[in-house]
Structure 1
Amino acid sequence: AVNSEDEWPSKYSKFFVELDDGLEFSFTDKRRFARVRLFDDPETVPPISELGPDALFEPMSVDNFVDSLSRKKIGIKALLLDQSFISGIGNWIADEVLYQSKIHPLQIASSLTRESCEALHQSIQEVTLTLHCFE
């Protein structure tokens, strides 16, 4: 939404589209870090092709999750933030699921007990679902 006194499109607009029905939209990036790329099939091209399963829409089974964690020799928070492991978990979601699971962020993933892994799996589902409900 744009106020009537706002410049349109913004001087920071990277990408502007006007549809046949007159609707217009613009991708704006004041910090000028973003890039816009168009692909025929973006799911086959990095970085999209390198994303792990979506935490909300493609949750791992508990057994797959436990197995994956058992092979990772990295701090659990760093692993949760790795978008190639699970996509869609950012800093505050990682903090929240670890807090709810009573797991220290620096604990090595492979050292977690099955019960801790199951609690973490459950917390990821609950937090992402709750977040989705508020969108």
Structure 2
Amino acid sequence: MKRLLLPIAFALVAEPMNSCGPDYTTSEDFRFWLLQPQLADARALHPFYFTTEILYSTDYDAITALPYAANIAEWHAVVGDAVPDEAIAHALYGTTSATAKNNAFLARLAQLKSGWPEYFAFALRCEKLNTSPDP
């Protein structure tokens, strides 16, 4: 009987217990749902990956359908009617160092001076950086 007296005395005294964990009687349980969004079927809580390779697949049709004609027209406005569009297109999209010497567009840029040859060389160098995929 003496053995039961102490547990009965503790059971009769109602003291609130303070735990170091979350209180499940409040909205604290939502914190755990944020860690597992599939439990609450909350698709908006899924992780955000800041990379274009995961979010978006490569659209090769959009890449190959770049506005080449608009770019050629802009360069045509710079060099004038003396240079045919084919020479401009060849210089922009198909020039190698061997064929650059005979190109009418590049010869006209050299005549214009005012920084146009340097700008064109700079644009060709930057094109490799602008058109490369994400690392």
Give me the TM-score of the superposition, normalised by structure 2: 0.23
Relative to its length, the structure with more strand (as a share) is 1
Larger radius of gyration: 2
Give me the TM-score of the superposition, normalised by structure 1: 0.23
Relative to its length, the structure with more helix (as a share) is 2
Q: Which has the higher contact order (CA 8 A, sep 6+)?
A: 1
